[in-house]
């Protein structure tokens, strides 16, 4: 199974198309999961419309989020995701996510995103620095019946902390 997904990703990555001032997308034109992801990007990631979470995520999602280091796996309810989007809009209103690369294989959509923002509300319990920052993130979404049921994600938190002037101490 893993070998076939890897082979599909390699094959999909060969013929790529670039949108004007947009991401490189290597997916079939009729890929339903790609269309759902692109709408999810606009509604949840950019507008952060928490009331619409259940349009894109199953009632419970398996999250393999390694942003804080390690490989934490948890079952997350859609209500928790809605709260996360609401808090994100309050705590980081300037944030913009720009997709850089999108790959599709079977029921997976893999995205490399560039996060850009300005630290006006404080990060990680620190006082606001009013400095701009940017970081890359990679997310892998597994879809079933048109909604995300599983997610793997990580981002360059250490890079953000360094850009804001915080001391980064290895664990």
H/E element holding 74? strand 72-77
Q: At 163, phi and psi to the nearest 5?
A: -65, -30
Residue 104 belongs to some domain of the structure: yes
pLDDT of 6: 41
Whether 133 is in a domain gets the answer yes
Residue 171 inside a domain? The answer is no
Q: Contact 26/13 with Cβ under 8 angstroms?
A: yes
Q: Is the pLDDT of residue 19 over 90?
A: no
CATH of the domain at 74: 3.10.450.50
Would you state the structure tokens that stand for residue 54, as one six-digit string?
A: 């259940």
Report yes or no on 170 lying in a domain: no
Tell me: pLDDT of 165 over 90: yes
Q: Is residue 137 part of a domain?
A: yes
pLDDT tens digits for 131-159?
Answer: 999 999 999 999 999 999 999 999 898 89
Number of neighbours of residue 10 by Cβ within 10 angstroms:
11
- The DSSP symbol for 157 reads H
- pLDDT tens-place string over residues 60-94: 999 998 655 556 788 999 999 888 888 888 888 88
Residue 77 lies in a domain: yes
SS3 110: strand
Does residue 48 lie within any of the structural domains? yes
The 3-state DSSP composition of the chain as helix, strand, coil percent (nearest 5) reads 30, 35, 30
User: How many Å from the N-terminal Cα to the C-terminal Cα in the chain?
Assistant: 34
Task: Compute the Cα dihedral for 100, 36, 55, 68 and give only its sign.
Answer: negative
pLDDT at 91: 82
Asked if residue 55 is part of any domain, the answer here is yes
Q: Whole-prediction pTM value? A: 0.82
> How many domains does the chain divide into?
1
Full domain range(s) for residue 106: 2-14+21-163
């Amino acid at each position: 199974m893993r070998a076939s997904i890897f082979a599909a990703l390699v094959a999909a990555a060969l013929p790529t198309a670039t949108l004007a001032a947009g991401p490189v997308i290597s997916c079939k034109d009729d890929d339903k999961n790609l269309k759902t992801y692109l709408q999810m990007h606009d509604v949840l990631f950019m507008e952060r419309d928490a009331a619409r979470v259940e349009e894109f995520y199953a009632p419970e999602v398996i999250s393999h989020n390694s942003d804080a280091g390690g490989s934490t796996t948890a079952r997350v309810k859609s209500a928790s995701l809605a709260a996360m989007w609401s808090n994100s809009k309050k705590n980081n209103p300037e944030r913009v996510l720009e997709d850089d690369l999108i790959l599709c294989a079977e029921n997976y959509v893999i995205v490399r995103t560039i996060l850009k923002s300005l630290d006006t509300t404080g990060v990680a319990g620190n006082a606001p620095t009013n400095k701009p920052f940017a970081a890359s993130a990679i997310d892998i979404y597994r879809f079933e019946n048109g909604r995300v049921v599983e997610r793997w994600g990580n981002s360059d938190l250490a890079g953000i902390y360094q850009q804001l002037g915080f001391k980064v101490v290895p664990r």
